[in-house]
A and B are shown apart, each in its own frame.
Chain A
Amino acid sequence: MASDVLVVAERSGGQFGDITFELLGKAKEIASALGGKAGVVLLGDTSGVDALGAADVVYTIDDPSLSNYNPEATEASLIGLLRQVEPRLLLMGTSTYGLDWGGALSVAWDAQLASYVVGLSLEGSDIIATSQLYGGKLFAEAVLDGERGIVTAIGGSFPAEAGRTGGSPEIVATSATASAGKVTFGAIKEPDKSGVDITSADLLVSVGRGIGSQDNLELVQELADALGSPLSASRPIIDQGWLPKPQQVGKSGQKVKPKAYLSFGISGAPEHLEGMRNADLIISCNTDENAPIFDVAHYGTTVDLFDLVPELAEKLGQ
């Protein structure tokens, strides 16, 4: 049976994301237990390959078709490489990469896929994945059947240090596989960085869908003003157009690490937690005692935000 474990490296702005090292650390653990190699797939230019010293082998596919984000071209090349290497497991993040390519690869490479993975281990020769489902309310422990599998893991689930060790991996340059050419790259647009900077604040007051309406935002804004802190929010508040994108906390927003993070009406979906779980002190208000936010918060309360926020603002305003 195949015994190699491959990781798809994620880069943005030339830098590898932590997820690459988190997955590489995990890949090493599983590959060595299986007696195989931990490999990294580097799509596009080969800059930064030196950072991948922890890998046994790095497969590079340096081709113009991969120099820009393109799901079709990438999948074609990944499938080509998978058929060539035939690893036991392919690891990706449940990022845009995993959400975009994971499912299609599972069909084309005929492998079972486990998504939203936060735990991964080997039992004999079985791959056991633990996935976070239902917005973090339930975990599913599942066995990947068959001889090959794909895992998309949630960022922050495995320690990155294990994937940052030095070494001199074998570099294998492989060629791209042509795709049907139905997806054409246009442009890349960097996010607007103007406006409020929530990443440098010591304290954040953060609001979620529990606030109910745009008009009610005034309440939390008053509290933020009283504390002299910026207002941040979960994604639905940004998607509604109630606050600008730079104020979004989470996987597709900003990663923040303030001295204190005060949240109101945020459930604590994995995508939100990815952006704030490392804050020194997390205090969360949510009327649902089972809300997943309470699993990462240091202090919590189920008092209604509409009672608590005005109390806080008033006491602080005195």
Chain B
Amino acid sequence: MRIVVAMRQLADLVEELEVDDSGTDIDREFVKFVSNEWDEAALEEALLIKEQSGAEIVAVALDEPDVDQTLYTAIAKGADKAVKLTGLEEGWVSTHSRAKAIASWLGDQQWDLLLTGVQAADDLDGQLAGILAAQLQVPHAAVVVSAQTEGSSVKVSQELGGGTIVEETIALPAVLGIQTARQAPRYAPITRIRQAMQSGGLEEASVAGDLAEGRPTVRRLYPPEKTGHAEMLTGSASDVADKIIELLRAKGLVKS
């Protein structure tokens, strides 16, 4: 069983995101890039499959800022191999283009199951799992909360709205968009990440593509107008607490 985990870097949402001079992309110069949190869930699910029934795990990602950190961390957590796909221009890679790059690399690989995050915060032209699966003409499922391999198939649980779960069996090879792993993603001790970095061994493969392929043409990227912005309560914690209690009291939600 060979499981590929497609991972990616994304601007850290905790940071202030500014729009660049073109007005159609974020300013990538000063933002911190981190691993997409749903890809971390995909990696965790792959590690659980490996522990349960044995598998080789290959983490793959496009060359984006600080991707080495993400890939070495994947190795430190238990991935057997990590591959960095180079050759695309730096910038906002469309999901269709990302899928094509991964599909072209997969063309030379032997693989059974591909896991990736259910979504990423900038995937305007759609989510990777379905696009990649359609390009590869293999079955897929998204919003997956459990994946367990059984011979040449994978048993998945998909989450519908409101927490309803549907269980299916999918013939391999297949692509899954992971929403949540069966357990919260594990941490890799920093010493192990360092060890992985020191032993090196990130493989590189080159891919080609056009950043914006398949994405609707963005005319404008902008922060939402603050029309309905909250009235801000300021002062010390004690002042703010008093104001909140007053608001709740006015609603009859605090006794006396």
| Residues of A near any B CB (own CB < 8 A) | 10, 12, 17, 68-72, 95-96, 99-108, 112-116, 128-129, 131-145, 149, 152, 180, 182-192, 202-203, 227, 239-241, 245, 248, 251-254, 259-260, 262, 267, 280-284, 288-290, 292, 294-304, 307-308, 311-312, 315-316
Given known contacts A71-B140, A104-B130, is B232 in contact with A189 (CB within 8 Å)?
no
A137 and B134 contact, CB distance less than 8 A? no
Known A-B contacts A103-B95, A191-B163, A253-B162; A143 and B219 likewise in contact (beta carbons under 8 Å): yes
Contact A99 B177 (CB under 8 A): yes
Chain A, Cβ-Cβ closest to B26:
A138
Asked if residues A303 and B165 are in contact (CB atoms below 8 Å), the reply is: no
Distance of A202 Cα from B248 Cα, bound (Å): 11
Chain A residue nearest in CB terms to B232? A300
Size of the B side of the interface (Cβ < 8 Å), in residues, is 88
Contact of B231 among A113, A138, A296, A299 (CB under 8 A): A299
Contact pick for A115, options B125, B169, B233, B245, CB 8 Å: B125
Residues of B close to A259: CB separation below 8 A: 251-253
In the complex, A254→B233 CA distance in Å? 28
A101 vs B124: C-alpha distance in the bound complex, in angstroms? 15
Contact across chains for A190 and B126 when beta carbons are under 8 A apart: no
Kindly list the 5 A-B residue pairs having the minimum CB-CB distance in the complex, ordered from nearest: A103-B130, A191-B163, A300-B230, A107-B134, A103-B126
Assess the B122–A112 pair: CB atoms within 8 A: no
- Decide if B219 touches A133 in the complex (CB within 8 Å): no
Which of B131, B161, B169, B228 is close to A104, meaning CB atoms less than 8 Å apart? B131
- Known contacts A68-B166, A260-B248, A301-B234: A114-B127 contact under CB 8 Å: no
Q: Name which residue of chain A comes closest to B131, CB basis.
A: A103
14 residue pairs of the A-B complex, CB under 8 angstroms, read: A69-B160, A71-B141, A99-B127, A100-B141, A103-B129, A105-B134, A131-B124, A137-B17, A138-B223, A141-B220, A144-B216, A145-B216, A186-B168, A259-B251
Chain A residues with CB under 8 A of B130: 99-105, 107
Q: Is the CB of B159 within 8 A of A252?
A: yes
Inter-chain contact A133/B119, CB cutoff 8 Å? no
Chain B residues, CB < 8 A from A143:
216-217, 219
A134 touches B11 (CB 8 A): yes
Tell me the bound Cα distance from A260 to B139 in angstroms.
44
Partner of B171, one of A103, A105, A113, A182: A182
The answer on a CB contact under 8 Å between A102 and B126 is yes
Binding site for A on B (CB under 8 A): 11, 13-14, 16-17, 19, 24, 26, 95-96, 118-119, 121-131, 133-135, 138-143, 155, 157-171, 174, 177, 179-180, 183-184, 214-224, 226, 228-234, 236-238, 240-245, 247-248, 251-254
Instruction: Compute the total of residue contacts between A and B using a CB distance below 8 Å.
Output: 280
Best-surrounded residue of A100, A149, A267 (most CB of chain B within 10 A) = A100
Query: In the bound complex, what is the Cα–Cα distance between A68 and B167 (angstroms)?
Result: 10
How many whole Å from B236's CB to the nearest CB in chain A?
8
A100 to B123, CA, bound (A): 14
Do A299 and B233 have beta carbons less than 8 Å apart? Answer: yes
Q: Hey, which chain A residues are within 8 Å of B222, CB to CB?
A: 138-139, 141
Given contacts A71-B140, A112-B214, A240-B184, 16 further A-B contacts (CB under 8 A): A96-B159, A103-B127, A133-B122, A134-B26, A140-B124, A145-B216, A183-B168, A186-B166, A203-B248, A252-B143, A252-B161, A260-B248, A267-B13, A290-B16, A301-B240, A308-B240
Complex CA gap A140/B143 in Å reads 24
Question: Which chain A residues border B244 with CB–CB below 8 Å?
Answer: 262, 283, 299, 301, 312
Verify B251–A280 contact, CB threshold 8 A.
yes
CB-defined contacts of A104 to chain B, threshold 8 Å? 130-131, 133-134, 140
| Closest CB in chain A relative to B143 CB, distance in Å | 5
- A106–B96 CA distance with the chains assembled, in angstroms: 9
Question: From A135, which residue of chain B is reached at the shortest CB distance?
Answer: B13
- Neighbouring A residues of B219 by C-beta, 8 Å: 128, 141-143
Q: Which residue of A lies closest to B133 (CB)?
A: A104
| A-chain residues with CB within 8 Å of residue B17 when the two chains form the complex | 134, 137-138
B74 → chain A closest CB, angstroms:
19
From residue A107, how far is it (CB to closest CB) to chain B in Å? 4
Question: Which residues from B are CB-within-8-Å of A251?
Answer: 161
Q: Which residues of B contact A316 (CB under 8 A)?
A: 245, 254
CB neighbours of B128 from chain A (8 A) = 103
Residue of B nearest to A259 (CB): B251
Residues of B within 8 A of A315 (CB): 238, 241-242, 245
Q: Which residues of B contact A252 (CB under 8 A)?
A: 143, 159, 161-163, 179
Q: Collect the chain A residues with CB atoms within 8 Å of residue B140's CB.
A: 71, 100, 104
CA distance A68 to B169 in the complex (A): 13
Q: Which of B19, B160, B184, B217 contacts A142 (CB 8 A)?
A: B217
Q: Are A307 and B237 in contact, CB atoms less than 8 angstroms apart? A: yes
Residue contact B223 to A137, C-beta cutoff 8 Å: yes
A312 partner residues in chain B, CB cutoff 8 A: 241, 244-245
Contact (Cβ within 8 A) B223 A106 = no
CB <8 Å contact, B13 and A137? yes
Point out the residues of chain B lying under 8 angstroms from A136, CB to CB. 224
